[in-house]
Structure 1
């Protein structure tokens, strides 16, 4: 399937590396990707090929501090200042680029894990730019206490190691604990998928699995505090079709917090929220052993979302 890449200039002049996969004919819809922490957009090529077969394009930028974009910055680091604001704004830049290329084509958002959090912040400002949004491998904490406590630790680690320092303590408190839920364990990233070959590909990828900087953690935790407030979620267009999806055995959400996210969105006024939790599945649905079924289910939801009239 036709694949190409290009550099997209963000509003502050930062160069963002973008992968695009387009079907042979003009796409009938485009999916805009926001990938997760310590990974990159090229990992979604298989899903992009599946979408292309059904007439849907995919555009995915390597977020700041990730993938090829890190060539123009620092791996694992958004920015020294205002990092959260910048990564949310980058999605707006990508959406604008897609709209210029395909002015009448519906655009949907696929945000995975960290990308789902950035995606929710984007939805609060730009819901009308989209036909629908998929939040994969996400999470929700109604109480801010855990995020506040984590941010306090991140601040202390930033004082101890510097903004660009990398804290093994923060890494253990997150990813280390995630992996403890997996039995038996064969690697530090078994929590990503039940497919050992997919986990090995992640381990072998030099652009995956790195430690992020203390400043990135501060930026991310500040963003999580923002999007966990129902009054903030209420800024999302209530008519926007939303899909919350993930694995029952994903330690990020423990399954139940996907339900809590869907309920929070509904409480905030969202009227078209769907929830799909896969039994036994872990964090990366598109790399799980049931990924074909996941892809088909996502396509079916996209087809339904495309039926709803939207403002653009």
Structure 2
């Protein structure tokens, strides 16, 4: 029997989470390999301990965490600051294993059950890790609540009374036929039968998004579905598998199995398949799906073309969007933000600066009310979170450069008004040696230059007009930037060749060891609204965006000679911000 070691790691917000480590018991050829396990809701790593032996992988280091609010990890039982926080905890845990135990991400396989499987799926979608494979057992993409309109009712109650907790209706006899597992569940003091409404609703929203966009996940995946599951619905699991973008995937339906797939009485049927899949994933060469031409072929290309196409003239949808455009035009008469969007483009630097300031303005109380609603739309909330993430990673990159004794020369190649850069620097000591802000718009150059003066940074900062896609111009930057920033630009451009040119120019300009901050948009819940009702800064044309999966964006950056170090993403999974280092 393998013996575990009690360990802990520190999350991004300073919480110490508990995990178990079963060191490999057999010598294995380098590099080391790892299996990382994630438990189901209400449970903890001890409930998966039997798998360390039953999977019979002596050459693998095995790890299993206690999610925050579970087992021996701190926090209110069954709760987390948000579902996205738990997803980020996975990223931090994987990074910790790499740094602390010397195991590369590409040599890890992830095994997750139920709620843990949804957390891992969201992580695979949002962070695009390069793990070897993942096994998902009965993922809780849709929990059976049995009460009609239960989620809507819970959402209304939360809006009225804030976060609260509900006890699980699931009895242990509905989880497994294994009598010893049933008994241990009843007697286990670490079982948390409550779950917060924040987590329950966050789970549902994240699951809907991940299932709908499963084609963005290209990790080799094995899906185990329990055939007699009383806890979660099977249809979303089937949809996830059907839409999964991985070329290497397999699905197994286990007749008669209850929800605790890997703790069932006859679990040897599942465990044998899991073991075979894990070993096979290491016996075959890893082939990453190339996404560099995803702008010309693939799901996101087709999606953008659909948004570009005109709707049938007399269709209900066309009439709806015509009414929406009329309503927006009427709202622009009293809302300052909507009016600015139509005047300069909803994707312009002026609009972004207005969204960053987040101060509703308009004619009378009605105009301010409409403007407040406009500024509170999910897309603009995501934009403001993106700004905070850019500021966070900018400060991190500056800190790395200072620690290395390197000068700090910053360039932002499409700065808009440059507000997020200039405001982020108010927390940086000492200030950078130079700051160069560039933009193609005369209006942005004018207003950005004015903002530099207002911030008292004229001695080190300047603004110039330039094309962010001119490779030669970027390559000739002087002084050579040790930190380049591209925020909110690449999301507006469908053509990957333009991005490749821009990134190649930056790769020629940024010296080895320098840094790149780049943003992405792997998901957006309002794509059709944006395409059908809003206009772009480009001659008032429809604002049509092609989503890039995080994997696609990372591959473009990697192809230019940068290595991704870390990433942030908002709680809705809309906007990501990544930090990469120039390596080749």
Fold-level match, TM-score > 0.5? yes
- Matched residues in 2 for 1:257 and 1:194: separation? 24
Instruction: Describe how 1:69-80 pairs up with structure 2 within 5 A.
Output: 69-70=73-74, 73-79=75-81
What residue is the counterpart of 2:120 in the other structure? 119
Equivalent residue runs for 1:191-270 within 5 Å = 191-230=174-213, 233-237=214-218, 240-253=219-232, 255=234, 257-265=236-244, 269-270=245-246
CA offset at residue 25 of structure 1?
3.5
**Bigger shift: residues 113-122 or 124-133:** 124-133
- Do 2:91 and 2:123's aligned partners in 1 also have CA atoms closer than 8 Å? yes
| 1:251–1:264 distance in 2 versus 1, CA, 3 Å | farther
C-alpha distance in 2, partners of 1:91/1:26?
27
**Which range moves more in the overlay, 116-125 or 248-257?**
248-257
Match of 1:296 among 265, 268, 272: 272
Aligned to 2:53: 49
Give the 3 Å change call, closer, same or farther, for CA 276–138 of structure 1 in structure 2: same
Q: Displacement of 1:219 after TM fit?
A: 2.2
User: After superposition, where does 1:90-101 map in structure 2 within 5 Å?
Assistant: 90-100=89-99, 101=101
| Higher RCO structure (Cα 8 Å, ≥6 apart) | 1
The 8 Å contact of residues 138 and 252 in structure 1, kept in 2 or not, is answered as: no
User: Structure 1: how far apart are the matches of 2:64 and 2:26?
Assistant: 19
CA separation of 1:200/1:275 partners in 2, compared to 1, >3 Å: closer, same or farther? same
**2:393 equivalent in structure 1:** none
Deviations 1:47-68 (A, max 9, x none): 0123455322221111111111
- 2:7 maps to 6
Q: Is the 8 A contact 1:64 1:78 kept in 2?
A: yes
CA distance in 1, matches of 2:217, 2:180: 38
TM-score of the two chains, using structure 2 as the length reference: 0.45
Greater CA drift, 88-97 or 213-222: 213-222
Alignment-derived partner of residue 152 in structure 2: 152
Runs of 5+ consecutive residues of structure 2 not aligned to the other structure: 289-562, 564-584
1:24-76 CA-to-partner distances (Å, cap 9, x unmatched) read 24565211112111000111111012345532222111111111113xx2111
Matched residues in 2 for 1:52 and 1:2: separation?
Answer: 13
Structure 1 residues 98 and 196: alpha-carbon distance in aligned structure 2, compared to 1, 3 A threshold: same
Q: Measured at CA, do residues 256 and 306 of structure 1 come closer, stay the same or move farther in structure 2, by a change above 3 Å?
A: same
TM-score (norm 1): 0.81
> Partner of 1:234: helix, strand, or coil?
helix
Please tell me whether the aligned partners of residues 65 and 74 of structure 1 are also in contact (alpha carbons under 8 angstroms): yes
CA positional deviation for 1:95: 0.9
Q: Which residue of 2 aligns with 1:32?
A: 36
Q: How does 1:267-278 map onto structure 2 within 5 Å?
A: 269-278=245-254
8 Å Cα contact 1:255-1:277 kept in structure 2: no
Q: Which runs of 5+ in 1 are unaligned?
A: 176-187
Post-superposition Cα deviations, 1:86-143, rounded to whole Å, max 9, x if no partner, equal 11111111111222223357101111100111011110133443000111011546xx
Q: Distance in 2 between matches of 1:189 and 1:295?
A: 21
Question: 1-side partners of 2:222 and 2:108: how far apart?
Answer: 15
Question: 1:228, CA displacement in angstroms?
Answer: 2.6
